[in-house]
Chains A and B, each alone.
Chain A
Amino acid sequence: GENVEQHPSTLSVQEGDSAVIKCTYSDSASNYFPWYKQELGKRPQLIIDIRSNVGEKKDQRIAVTLNKTAKHFSLHITETQPEDSAVYFCAADDSFGNEKLTFGTGTRLTIIP
């Protein structure tokens, strides 16, 4: 089955700077790569996703890049703000025979004012 690794596990960034979180996956047939944000004590919520036919996707200050050859994808947050502080999870679909997502272990992002 799919294996997703996520780095770093913790990240501290000065307010206004950029943050990058990276994930690698093992199943070359994976096609869907979402990113979820989980604020303290809250439920995970989707912030952006990308499919395998696209190399990059942007939504305001958030962008995701995908390199299918290298089997890795990254989340980029620019002009970070205090409300970006949260735990971020990447995930990849398990395409053949398993209709589910495999999640990374999470990155705790702290924005320093």
Chain B
Amino acid sequence: NAGVTQTPKFRILKIGQSMTLQCTQDMNHNYMYWYRQDPGMGLKLIYYSVGAGITDKGEVPNGYNVSRSTTEDFPLRLELAAPSQTSVYFCASSYSVGTSGSIRYNEQFFGPGTRLTVL
């Protein structure tokens, strides 16, 4: 298993440009997440998905969009890049069972990250 893979590893964008960060997992996990990590800071949740066709906003969704057309893929779209989006982006996945109010969580596996700079 490759686990969680992300592309690209590094990217420099100009203000106003757009790009898509790719994330793929081969562990048949139902849950997928996008986090951003600013220098010296913790992980902030951007968007998450509990299964194909279902996405929801996290703590810092503004300026981003996601889609989940398959179990394996969870791309993150930046439409109009801004310097405030300079960060390291991590995708993660996990397998959790149950329904809202009674969910058994399991380990989140993280991808290697994408370092994005917006100038």
Given A89-B42, A89-B43, answer yes or no on A101-B105 (Cβ-Cβ < 8 Å): yes
Task: Tell me if B67 counts as interface (CB < 8 A to partner A).
Answer: no
Q: Tell me the chain A residues, 2-44 only, with Cβ under 8 Å from chain B.
A: 31-32, 34, 42-44
Interface size class of B (residues with CB under 8 A): 20 to 34
Q: How far apart are A76's CB and chain B's nearest CB, in angstroms?
A: 20
A-B contacts counted at CB < 8 A amount to: 50
Task: Tell me if A78 counts as interface (CB < 8 A to partner B).
Answer: no
Which partner residue on chain A sits nearest B31 by CB separation?
Answer: A99
Decide: A97 and B41 in contact? CB cutoff 8 A. Answer: no
Q: A43-B90, A99-B103, A103-B42 are in contact. List 16 more A-B contacts (CB 8 A).
A: A31-B105, A32-B104, A34-B105, A43-B111, A43-B112, A43-B113, A44-B110, A93-B103, A96-B101, A98-B100, A99-B50, A99-B96, A100-B58, A101-B105, A101-B108, A106-B42
